[in-house]
Structure 1
Amino acid sequence: MALLIACGETSSLPYHIALLRFLNGTFDTIKRDISQIVVSIFCCQHKIHENARICGGESLLSSSFEDLLTTIGKKCQLSAQDYFPQKKNFDDGRDPHVVFNVLDTMLKDNLERLKIMRESISFSKKGLLGLKFQDIHTEHIAVVRDLCLEGKLGAALCLRRKMMQKGFVPDVFTHNYLVNGLCRSGDMEKAAWLIREMLEMGPLPNHVTYNTFIKGYCLFDNIDKALDLFSTMINSAIRPNRVTWNILVHALCRKGILEEDIMLLQEILNDNDKESPDVVTSTIFMDSYFKNGDMVQALSVWDKMIQKCTEVDVVAYNVLIHGFCMSQDLKLANRYVCEMLKKGLLPDVYTYNTLIGALCKEGNFSESYYIIKVMSKMGVIPDQISYQLIIQGLCLKGDVVKASELLLFMLENSMVPEPLVWNYIIYFYGRQGDLSSAFSLRDQMFAFGVPPNVFTYNALIHAQVKRGDIEGAFSLREEMLLYGLSPDVVTYNLLIGAACNSGNLHFALLLHDEMLSRGYKPDIITYTELIRGQCMKGNMKKALKLFSCMRKSGLLNDHIPFQIIIKKYCKLGKRVIASNLYQKWLASKVDDNS
């Protein structure tokens, strides 16, 4: 009773009712404190404004938290109705033992309710934090994958490391993104390190991981490493599958290996996979036979596919059509295009481009234009390669005007070609001596946001040199440097040749020294131009010295520079020296061949 009076409870009430009110007040206080804790959790996790606070005893909670507190409050609220009959004439003079028994029961029940309330709040806090962490890590995984696709592998690996430091290990799917990105960039050592970490720390690599790793080695022609990894897979829990086999077969066929090694791989694979070679494997073999010129073997593979009722796809037909186009058998190529359509397989852009390329080689440009129209009607949009094939064919035929018109058609249809197409037309304008059209096209490149490259300037320099405008050629070289483009071996050869033809050997040798300082190695053309320039000046000793340097540098013992020297000695009337040099050259050719 003293405790009740100290807490402000009136002594006029029965003591058990007063005690009930005291307990209810205590639990209301606890509930308000818990509501403040929940609000702080909610504000922290969802970044509510800093001024969020509890005003007037009412919590600034979302509906979900209000429901939570309401539920907890109902579970933990004391009510006398649960324990005493509702009688207006309730008399305090009843049996005190009954009252104390009731109060004892009330205390036990409410202690249980306090436990439930504490567990509910703890569970809610844990759920909120767990959900938040899960959302953060899901976002991080998505960022890692996006960074891999963009080629920003350093940032992706850094984010992975931070996630693992916080105890979250990305799944194997995300790690496969990283392995694929590293293999595509050629960083095979780091890819191997990542797979070792997966084996040590998890997640364990799967078929996709190893197949991606093997494909990376094959991509950079390291077939030995790929085969070693294949052997490792055989002795591990992850056995090679059809994808592994197809990757290795494609790499071996590309290297020209078709028989023994591939059959050995087939035997190893058959231990795990009793199925016959699928359409992918057969297509790889067929393509390799076509490229090696073995038409009989290629068609044999095709016949086996048809006999085994293999479901042939568009890719297999494309390989077959491409093989016939390589042998210039357009009738058979068109026949199988018709067969595709009869089977309900629609030709794709690769199919049409194969036909366009073959027609352009034959000079049949009218038929090429017709195929472009057919593509559009069939719902296949011609791509840059479609137009590029026709433009190259027209340029080789000498019809640069039509090629330029087709380029204009592409621009009018919002298809800006790559620099290669522009360079082709510029080069052939220069060959025809039409420098004004060549420079006009160069200006159009700038206007359409296509920056000219080294090949563009080489084509223009070649046109200037051919025209005899040496100053114009050298000014283009200065323009290249202003745009941040470094001259290559072709650029230097053109300028050295121009300087030698104009008799300016000193400048030619300066260009040769500059070429060496930039890390470029002179080729046969470089030495031929310098030898011609020395011979024009009558500096035969220097010409022979250059020829000797050419041989020591490991270049082929070409006859053109030596022929220039022999002819010059003959013009000078020194036929004996010319004959002796010729005999020495023949002897050196025999030594080189042996």
Structure 2
Amino acid sequence: MALAIACGESSPSHLVLLGFVNRTLDSIKRNIAQIFANVFCSQTNNAVDARTCGNADLLPFKLEDFMTKFGEKYQLSAEDWFSENKNLNDKQDPHAVFNVLDVMLKDNLERLKMMRESISLANMNCQGWTFEANYLETAEIIKDLCLYGKLGTALWLRRKLMQKGVVFDVFTHNYLINGLCKTGDLDKADELIKEMSEQGPSPNCATYNTFINGYCLINNVDKVLDLFSTMANKGIKPNRVTCNILVHALCKKGHLEDAKKHLEEILDDDNDKTASDKIISSTILMDGYFKNGKMVQAKSVWDNVVQMDTQVDVVAYNVLINGFCSSQEIHLAFGYFCEMIKRGLLPDVFTYNTLISGLCKIGKFDEASYIHGIMSKIGIIPDQMSYKSLIQGLCINGVVVRANELLLGMLEKSMVPEPLIWNLIIDCYGRCGNLGKAFSTKNQMLIYGVKPNVYTYNALIYAQVKEGNITNAVSLKQEMHSYGLLPDVVTYNLLIGAACNSQNIEWALHLLDEMLMLGCEPDIITYTELIRGHCIKDNMKEAEELLRKMHNSGMPIDDVPYKILVKKYCKMRKPDKVFDLYYKWMERKRA
């Protein structure tokens, strides 16, 4: 009931309470009016005529009711009131009426005071509850806006409520900072942290962890180290997350020795860091060594972990196995795979995917297929990565039939492949000259609701160009627009190369103008194809002009354009041109 009053809602309970208060106040007025009427009006045993005393609404009952309640001994007539005889024949006390009046007034006023205080207290409590409920609801709204990427709206809502004196807690601010860091708006996140330091709430360790991780995403290690120092200056002690982020940032930037020193500090701090914290930091450093090709140092980190009798986990073994597979040390990878099982750790899908990818890189597709086959038997369902690694390896080596069987197996398991897997098979069929299978795979791709991309059409255009079907290749370029796709530099390079092969240099130049108009920058392959086209048409002046244009643009040039021109001048029996080009070629290589 009180909550309804505080919220200002016209609920039934609200009306009942207000009615009760009004009736109480009316009763007090009537009681006081009745008393004064009894004092100042002439009294008889009959009903009092209210009209002789004023408003009839003030006297809704008879004087007999009052006399019955308080007794006849307290009656006092008007004549007695103003009489000089104060003792009423020595039988009655004339102050008795005033005693009754005082008691009733005091009692009613006390009741009114208590009711007002109760209503006021309930109102204040309800307002506090309402404010707290609104605060929590608004904080949840800001968190949801941050999670859905509506950072502008979240910041606007925070600013509006801060103008009304509302200060959100540090957890709500951390959501805002996390969203800004994910979108790369680190300057805005920095401003928000400065506002927190000046106006409250004070940033905590999680605030700086989020901010540091934002700079790690853009590889700004200098800023990461600066923020790490700022935490210490502000008296905020870094936790395990901070240390792991810092080690990861240093490893990603290649500062492995600095990361190692930092890790040693973590390992020496036995009081604050648990065994799980140490294995995480060691795993990050080990992964950094592997990615930089330093297998000896990575193995040394692993040996230190084992010597400390630290409980290693599946993630640490996965990093170790992945590092050896990337270095094509498959026998070492399988050795640690067996050791992992002996320790009672069950390999996960990432472990098997790593082994499949490593075997495919060295061409051992039978072993990779065997591992892929036993995954389901031991209760580990192959995922998209499992199929992609094997299909990619098969397609690179031209084993397209086996790759297509794996794709059909995915469809049977209601696992729709991602576009990359479809494109690999389409490209492999195109390179093998099987255009029918390439286009049927593309149609099947559409049936399963997978939209083709630029790479899909480039694979089909390459297949058509390879077979000499230039008209069909141009039709595919036009078809791309129906899916909202724009040709890229690879598309134009394929078509320009086809035009030059057919000695249609005018069409090739038209395609060059078209790609420039669309904002697609030519690359070395574009100019090399045009140079070759001009040489076929004996347009040597135009060919050398294109080579000069490549030099002036600062584009990296390989040996192919020089070889094309030298070969053409040799056929034309112009040794001076050959030696001149050869001299420029050698000068550029020395430079």
TM-score, normalised with respect to structure 2: 0.82
8 A contact 1:240–1:269 mirrored in 2: no
**How many Å apart are 1:414 and its aligned residue?**
2.0
- Conserved in 1, the CA contact under 8 Å of 2:267 and 2:273? no
Amino acid of the structure 2 residue aligned with 1:174: T
Cα separation, 1, equivalents of 2:368 and 2:531: 46
Tell me the equivalent position of 2:12. Answer: 60
Amino acid at match of 2:516: L
Q: 1:148 aligns with which of 127, 146, 149?
A: 146
Q: Is the 8 A contact 1:252 1:262 kept in 2?
A: no
1:313 paired residue number: 313
Residues 187 and 395 (structure 1 numbering): CA distance in 2 closer, same or farther, change over 3 Å? same
Change (3 A) 1:273 1:236: farther
Give the distance between the partners of 1:89 and 1:60, measured in 2 at CA. Answer: 35
Shift of the 331–92 alpha-carbon distance from structure 1 to 2, 3 Å rule, reads farther
5+ long unaligned stretches in structure 1: 1-34, 45-51, 53-58, 81-85
Change in 2 beyond 3 A, CA 1:121/1:562: same
Q: Partners of 1:482 and 1:497 in 2: how far apart?
A: 24
Within a 5 Å distance, the mapping from 1:119-518 to structure 2 comes to: 119-260=117-258, 263=261, 278-518=278-518
Q: Which residue of 1 aligns with 2:38?
A: none
Evaluate the alpha carbon distance shift between residue 155 and residue 439 of structure 1 in structure 2; reply closer, same or farther with a 3 A threshold: farther
Offset of residue 198 of structure 1 = 1.8
Letter in 1 for 2:168: P
Structure 2 CA distance for partners of 1:38 and 1:307, relative to 1, 3 Å: closer
Instruction: Indicate conservation of the 8 Å contact 1:391/1:403, yes or no.
Output: yes
Q: Please report how far the alpha carbon of residue 188 of structure 1 lies from its aligned counterpart in structure 2 after TM superposition.
A: 1.4
Q: For the Cα contact (< 8 Å) 2:259–2:285, is it kept in 1?
A: no
Contact conserved, 1:531 with 1:543, CA < 8 A, in 2? Answer: yes
Residue type at the aligned position of 1:198: M
Native 8 Å contact 1:147 1:153 kept in 2:
yes
Deviation, structure 1 residue 384: 0.8
Kindly indicate whether the alpha-carbon contact (under 8 Å) linking 1:38 and 1:121 is maintained by their aligned counterparts in 2. no
Deviations 1:289-334 (A, max 9, x none): 2223322221211111122122212211111121222233444433
Paired with 1:72 and 1:253, the residues of 2 have a C-alpha distance of: 77
CA–CA separation in structure 1 for the residues paired with 2:456 and 2:555 = 28
Partner of 1:3: none
* Deviation (angstroms), 1:472: 1.2
Q: 1:92 aligns with which of 72, 78, 83?
A: 72
Secondary structure of the residue aligned to 1:61 is helix
Deviation for aligned residue 1:568: 0.6
2: CA distance, partners of 1:160 / 1:373: 54
Larger radius of gyration: 2
Indicate if the aligned counterparts of 1:286 and 1:301 stay in contact, CA closer than 8 A.
yes
Cα distance per residue 1:187-229 (max 9 Å; x no partner): 2112212222222232221111111111111111122222222
> What is the one-letter code of the residue matched to 1:142?
E
Query: 1:566 Cα shift?
Result: 0.6
Question: Contact 2:263–2:282 at 8 Å: present in 1 too?
Answer: no
Contact map agreement 1:387 1:406 (CA 8 A) in 2: yes
Count of aligned positions: 536
Would the alpha carbon gap of residues 563 and 252 (structure 1) be closer, same or farther in structure 2, given more than 3 Å must change? same
The residue type paired with residue 159 of structure 2 is R
Q: What are the superposed Cα offsets for residues 498-543 of structure 1, whole Å, 9 maximum, x if unpaired?
A: 1211222122112222322333332111111010011111111111
Q: CA RMSD of the aligned region, Å? A: 3.3
The separation in 1 between residues aligned to 2:527 and 2:269, in whole angstroms, is 58
- Select between 273-282 and 567-576 the one with higher mean Cα deviation: 273-282
Code of the residue aligned with 2:500 in structure 1: it is: C
Letter in 1 for 2:187: E
Given that residues 177 and 210 in structure 2 are in contact (C-alpha distance below 8 angstroms), is that contact kept between their aligned partners in structure 1? yes
SS of structure 2 residue aligned to 1:521: coil
1:29 corresponds to? none
Distance 1:571 1:90, change over 3 A: closer
Task: Provide closer, same or farther for how the CA distance between residues 415 and 170 of structure 1 changes in structure 2, counting only shifts above 3 A.
Answer: farther
Secondary structure, aligned partner of 1:93: helix
CA distance in 2, matches of 1:332, 1:153: 48
| Distance of 2:267 and 2:510 partners within structure 1 | 61
Q: Deviations over 1:400-459 (max 9, x none)?
A: 122122112212222112111111111111111111221222222222222111111111
Deviates more, 1:334-343 or 1:297-306: 334-343
Q: Indicate the residue corresponding to 1:17 in structure 2.
A: none
In structure 2, distance between residues paired with 1:542 and 1:480: 32
Q: What is the TM-score normalised by the length of structure 1?
A: 0.82
Letter in 1 for 2:145: L
Deviation at 1:340, TM superposition (A): 3.2
CA drift at 1:87: 12
Unaligned 5+ residue runs, structure 2?
Answer: 32-65, 75-92
Q: 1:365 to 1:190 in 2, by over 3 A?
A: same
Specify whether residues 264 and 538 from structure 1 end up closer, same or farther in structure 2 by C-alpha distance, changes over 3 A only.
same
Residues 570-594 of structure 1 deviation map (CA, whole Å, 9 limit, x = unaligned): 111212221222123212322x1xx
- 1:54-89: CA deviations, max 9, x gaps? xxxxx7228xx97999999999999x9xxxxx9989
Q: Which moved more, 1:246-255 or 1:227-236?
A: 227-236
Whole-Å separation in 2 of the counterparts to 1:373 and 1:452: 29
CA contact (8 A) 2:248 2:284 kept: yes
Moved more, 162-171 or 66-75: 66-75
Q: Is the 8 A contact 2:353 2:386 kept in 1?
A: yes
Q: Which residue of 1 aligns with 2:552?
A: 552
Change (3 A) 1:266 1:340: closer
Give the superposition deviation at 1:365. 3.7
Rounded to whole Å, the distance in 2 between the matches of 1:309 and 1:69 is: 77
Contact 2:325–2:355 (Cα < 8 Å) also in 1: yes
Q: Percent identity?
A: 59
For 1:250 and 1:164, the matched residues in 2 are separated by 37
Residue 568 of structure 1 is matched in structure 2 by 568
- 2:246 & 2:3 partners in 1: Cα distance? 59
Are 1:39 and 1:60, in contact at CA under 8 Å, matched by a contact in 2?
no
Structure-1 separation of matches of 2:108 and 2:342: 81
Closer, same or farther: CA 260–511 of 1 in aligned 2, 3 Å:
same
Question: Given that residues 7 and 127 in structure 2 are in contact (C-alpha distance below 8 angstroms), is that contact kept between their aligned partners in structure 1?
Answer: no
Work out the CA distance in 2 between the residues paired with 1:129 and 1:521: 64
Q: Distance in 1 between matches of 2:7 and 2:239?
A: 50
AA partner of residue 349 (structure 2): V
- Aligned residues of 1:557 and 1:589 also touching (Cα < 8 A): no
